[in-house]
A and B are shown apart, each in its own frame.
Chain A
Amino acid sequence: MALLTIDNLHVRFRTPAGLLHAVNGVNLQVDRGEIVGLVGESGCGKSVTARAIMRLLPEHRSAQVSGRVVWRDEDLLAKSETDMVRLRGADLAMIFQDPLSALNPVMRIGDQVIEGPRQREKLSRQRARARAIEWLDHVGIPDAAARVDQYPHTFSGGMRQRVVMATALSGSPDLLIADEPTTALDVTIQAQLLERLRTLQAETGTAILFITHDLAVVAQLCHRVAVMYAGRIVEQATVAELFAHPRHPYTRALLNSTPVPGQRERLEPIPGAPPDGLHPFSGCPFADRCPHAIPACDLPPPLEDVTSTHRVACHRHEELADP
């Protein structure tokens, strides 16, 4: 059964240059115990989608949100702020993209890691500290017992990112939304952390929506993956299907612009830029950068089933499929 169902989500922002369409009708489902990767180019709406789920957009100022975000039969978009505060503390956790701004600079690392459970379970100071050390150890902070009482500025970029991860996990949420949680990590530590995350996930059944631009991480960690472009999901599949048989020209282009070890020849970025969101249009959003575009691409491509677990929004996906 679906734990979270995003249904026709739209987000628009009022900006000095006009109304910016950041999310344009996203449909996505996350099941209990599932790890779903959300990938896509910078600015395509990944973080905004995450913040919409958590109800953390400036709804009273510039953001207009519509659609439904169903969490266990209840629409989160209809909830009061009081209810959301309760949910965010316990059932839903989010790791933000900027690890430093997510940490309180004047609060000790250990207190931040264990703040949630400490209040809920009324842990003694000593018990809380011991648990914080355990969590820091879990995410691979060396010498955790000595580090637990220090402040964020004394931690390196990658260490802070792991602290943020520990903070989110310590509350045993049912759903964790992790926005680029491993960007500051070197490969060795990233591999260890992903391994831990997977073990932990298998033990606790926490569902994860994992936002990343790193396709290699998706391949390593996720069960399913959704590819986002210009505020829409353009392809969705199991990890095995997506990497073996990508159907959308955008997904293929993404796979081809990744540098591989040993690469010295010039990288091939996708030509052009994604739409800026200020000029709404009706056709395929990728058409003007797509090598396979045809006149029919002026019409919006429907999201079609390739298999029961693989869907793609491209008019030409069948003829372009691998033989």
Chain B
Amino acid sequence: MNETPLIKTEQLLKVFPARTGDVRAVDHVDLTIHKGEAFGLAGESGSGKSTLGRLIMGLESPTAGTIHFDGMDLTALSPAALRAQRPRFQMIFQDVRSCLNPRHRIETIVSEPLRLAGQPRAACRKRVRELLDHVGLPATVARRRPGELSGGQRQRVGIARAMATEPECIIADEPVSALDVSVQAQILNLLRDLRAEHNLTYLFISHDLAVVEYLCDRVGIMQKGQLVEVGSAADIFQRPQHPYTQELLASVCTLTKPGSAS
């Protein structure tokens, strides 16, 4: 592909200073994600996946290295210019609860990105209903507050909000890990359909390899801040090269469905 990649990081470095020694959360990562691609990021807990996502979202600033979004150097953009790009990419956060204002109603939370983009009230309300329906929530949750929902319902509110502005790119940090299998299946199918309809690009962070394999075309494996292996989903899952990837695949605890074994 010689099209401009949607996301391109070069030698991206993030160091968190600590008294007991610096933590290299993201250690010289080169990552390229093309338009319309679903890129899966998996790896050990604490390996830097969320930090990488947050760097790309501009929520952390890199210690060194560059991030290009659609050809623009994000680290060089002014805050105003960066804000203008905002609706084009959205993030679904790992810790949903901590980023949903507990005092606001779900309606307000989901429509926030729409209101920021200047949409009229009535249109917002209609869109909220539509979004809630997409993620399998009844319209009655619109008037409740985050504390009055179940964990999986809150997670879906986070997903609905990220989708509100129809972004081109979604960075999803463990979006389905709090969901039971049936809702998870529904959301994964929705993510697939949205991508097919709108040519969406995903950076999909998940420790669940079956989910990554289901949704993603290419996969990167992180360990201790480094991207140790990148390849097509087929290559990573059938012909893993790096010892850590092999170990990760070997420890998947799978379920034998009834009927397939006794």
Contact = CB atoms under 8 A, between A and B. Distances in A.
Q: Do A and B bind each other?
A: yes
Interface of A: 13, 15-17, 39-43, 46-48, 62, 97-101, 142-143, 146, 149-150, 154-159, 162, 179-180, 183-191, 213, 215-217, 219-220, 243-246, 252-264, 266-270, 273, 276, 278, 322
A211 to B, nearest CB: 10
Interface in B162-191: 173-174, 177-186, 188-189
B122 interface: no
Contacts of A156: 45-46, 50
B178 A154 contact: no
B188 A261 contact: no
Interface stretch (B4-12, B61-69, B75-83, B245-253): B245-253
29 contacts: A15-B143, A41-B152, A41-B180, A42-B156, A43-B149, A43-B152, A100-B95, A149-B19, A154-B18, A156-B46, A157-B45, A157-B173, A179-B151, A183-B174, A184-B174, A188-B44, A188-B248, A189-B45, A190-B207, A191-B251, A213-B152, A213-B179, A213-B184, A243-B258, A257-B181, A258-B255, A263-B213, A266-B189, A269-B185
A186 B192 CA distance: 23
Nearest to A252: B258
A101 B46 contact: no
B252 A215 contact: no
A95 to B, nearest CB: 12
Contacts of A267: 185, 188-189, 214
B161 to A, nearest CB: 17
Interface string B197-218: 0000000000111110110000
Contacts of B74: none
Contact of A42 (B43, B180, B255): B180
A183 B248 contact: no
Contact of A150 (B18, B247, B257): B18
Contacts of A256: 257
Nearest to A62: B148
Contacts of A216: 253-255
Query: A-side binding surface: helix, strand, loop or mixed?
Result: loop
B179 A157 contact: no
B188 A259 contact: yes
Nearest to B43: A186
Contacts of B138: 273, 276
B165 to A, nearest CB: 25
A185 B45 contact: yes
A15 to B, nearest CB: 6
B140 A17 contact: yes
Interface residues of B, number: 63
B151 A97 contact: yes
B231 interface: no
B78 to A, nearest CB: 27
Interface string B30-49: 00000000000011111000
B97 interface: yes
B58 interface: no
A106 B23 CA distance: 20
A260 B254 contact: yes
Q: Which 7 A-B pairs have the closest CB atoms?
A: A42-B152, A158-B45, A213-B180, A186-B207, A146-B20, A267-B185, A269-B185
Contacts of A259: 181, 184-185, 188, 210-211, 213-214
Nearest to A274: B182
Nearest to B205: A157
B2 interface: no
B144 interface: yes
Most buried by A among B50, B138, B211: B138
Given A42-B153, A154-B16, A187-B248, A269 B189 contact: yes
Contacts of B255: 215-216, 219, 243, 255, 258, 260
Given A213-B152, A259-B188, 19 more contacts: A15-B148, A17-B140, A39-B180, A42-B152, A42-B179, A43-B149, A43-B150, A99-B95, A101-B98, A156-B45, A157-B174, A180-B178, A184-B174, A188-B44, A217-B253, A220-B253, A253-B182, A258-B181, A261-B252
A47 B151 contact: yes
A48 B184 CA distance: 21
Residue with the greatest number of chain A CB neighbours at <10 A, chosen from B211, B258, B262: B258
Contacts of B254: 216, 260-261
A41 B183 contact: yes
Contacts of A243: 255-256, 258
A48 B60 CA distance: 36
A256 B156 CA distance: 22
Contacts of B207: 158, 184-187, 190
B243 interface: no
